[in-house]
């Protein structure tokens, strides 16, 4: 929606953004249109950590926030570190268009919890800020949770489990060494029930709204 100029028809993802007046300005003809620069909530964690279950538990329970399971953007394929930049650009573009209805978007997806995947995207400029949340647990608990997943989902095999342990460690140990590195809040779900974790995530989102 906002990449196409209604006046000259130019398709420009790199439109000029006037953050003070909340306008997007076409770089080619100068046409200015109002838009809502909303925050984005990016919740990540290794496969098996319970992101999809959290998404279902939280949907409709936070005023002013639309909750999306990132798997809907993967066309039935599991998340892979080989996802291209286009994938993240496209999902950010969809979230930005949803936010024009005056609601923020929260996306539960492994890759969206990694700041390096989003911060360099052109579409990142259209959000006032991105709040990152890492969901993790102990490796022992993660293996237990992965064992309940069907092999049809690609959650079996030593190689896959090893990779998810590494991803789990990323969220567990992530830190921001300087002001140039986005901060990430974390929730340890090792000894937490899905219901209790959902409550914590809701509280986290609400704390960013105030």
Q: Does residue 78 have a pLDDT over 60? A: no
Specify the pLDDT at position 149: 65
Quick: pLDDT tens for 89-123: 999 999 999 999 999 999 999 888 999 999 999 99
Q: Does residue 81 have a pLDDT over 50? A: no
This prediction's pTM: 0.90
Domains of the chain: 1-35 (no CATH), 37-209 (3.40.50.300)
Asked if 110 and 51 touch (Cβ cutoff 8 Å), the reply is: yes
Quick: pLDDT tens for 46-74: 999 999 899 999 999 999 999 999 888 87
Sequence-separated (6 or more) residues with CB below 8 Å from residue 171? 44, 45, 46, 113, 134, 135, 136, 184, 186
Specify the pLDDT at position 177: 83
Task: Tell how strand 40-45 and strand 130-136 pair up.
Answer: parallel
């Amino acid at each position: 929606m906002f990449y196409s100029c209604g006046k000259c028809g130019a398709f420009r993802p790199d439109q000029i953004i006037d953050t003070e007046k909340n306008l997007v300005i076409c770089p080619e003809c100068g046409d200015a249109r109002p838009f809502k620069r909303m925050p984005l909530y990016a919740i990540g964690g290794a496969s098996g950590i319970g992101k999809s279950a959290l998404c279902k538990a939280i949907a409709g329970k936070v005023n002013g926030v639309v909750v999306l399971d990132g798997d809907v953007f993967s066309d039935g394929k599991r998340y892979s570190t080989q996802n291209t930049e286009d994938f993240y650009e496209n999902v950010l573009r969809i979230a930005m268009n949803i936010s024009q209805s005056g609601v923020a978007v929260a996306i539960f997806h492994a890759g969206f919890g990694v700041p390096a995947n989003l911060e360099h995207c052109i579409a990142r400029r259209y959000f006032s800020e991105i709040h990152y949340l890492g969901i993790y647990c102990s490796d022992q608990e993660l293996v237990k949770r992965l064992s309940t997943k069907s092999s049809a989902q690609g959650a079996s095999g030593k190689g896959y489990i090893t990779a998810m342990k590494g991803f789990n460690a990323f969220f567990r140990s992530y830190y921001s060494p300087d002001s140039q590195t986005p901060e990430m809040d974390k929730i340890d779900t090792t000894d937490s029930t899905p219901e209790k974790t959902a409550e914590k995530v809701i509280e986290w989102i609400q704390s960013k709204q105030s």
